[in-house]
Chains A and B, each alone.
Chain A
């Protein structure tokens, strides 16, 4: 199964996928922005400030999902010792950090008109800040430790320890009395969000996921070339 992510098997596909995403990205972006900024209605309580949700919520989801994937792959790497998984986690980490930071900043910009403050040490917000620290530690482990094997081990360990924070972020709004509102969107179909707001949210999520795929593919390709370049004499 893991042979499917073998660089020599997928290298040819990376370029094709990058070109495909590039060809549909801007059309989807324009559609998503039209829905988010023009067609979706203002909230009856929060007014037009609710439009911040269309960048804040998908960013938070991506930040959280990226770390979950990194933690899962790190566990698999500890068990099966597959080098390619390290390339993938290393490529995902900067994307996760980017979106976690965007979620925190846009959350702050949403908090000011809604709660009257830029920042509170609320359980959800603080746990998101902790997530960004874990991302930074993960990236620093790869950057600062010279031995690649040791760097991978340390980074994997950071990801596994950091995974404890994932359920804390997810359930913080249920476990503690927080300023941050509980989830409006649930997988079990009991979502409290109106379809006119759900559609732009899904569209923006799709656009940002395509962007993530694009960056991931480019970073993964860079990593493959870096390794092949390093080992050129040994091939």
Chain B
């Protein structure tokens, strides 16, 4: 199914640009053309199809669903909804406050917000096409586990103590009253035309947001692919280098990217021999632990909670990396 993109890249790189398949530049250009064309076509088609199915799922419905849930189920569903509900990072504050003022515990809200950047349809699509379904499944399970366990931990340490006072007050008021929040809009059932219109808008919007990340991500991946010598990564950052995982996590912090940009880099690193756990840790840290996002959260959280959250994520990603590196030879 994906062979057409390889053929296309062969034709463009070797026949049109006249590059040699044996040269480093030819190798990098081929990698770049194949991946970018494949990712763009998949993105446009799949986002449309997924948006068609997802048109009636909105964040208000998710909130109303989570508001009535027992905690155990709440963490799981919070994380699951985080995975399937897309939102722009500029909506994370309104969502946090919307959930909080509906009386949803901080841990469940955070399970949603931690999982959301890690797992989304674009990330899954890229992982499937670049690294295969087994890796994708593993990634989803791990991403959700980090969200769920992170949420449980935040509730265990009573994280609501360190919210900004207006948010804490909204949470208390909502938990004291048993009223369910009223949705501002009634949720009408959608006709096929509505769904189509939504899906078109959604595909264009997501594509407009991520196309540049694909170029950047695949560009870096292609450079690594063409110019880092075979065996170099394995020799210097390979198995047995326990410190490479926390180093990868730390390196991911100042790098701000979404999953779309970092997954092609990860693919390239793994094919170059970087252990899977180290690559995963790097990817998760880049996507979920970034300063711009954390500064936004300052509006609703005190510094102490922000710091706890940050350290918690870094430790979680490091542990994920170590576990993967230890067990991947047996899978």
Are A and B associated in one complex? no
B contacts, CB < 8 Å to A: none
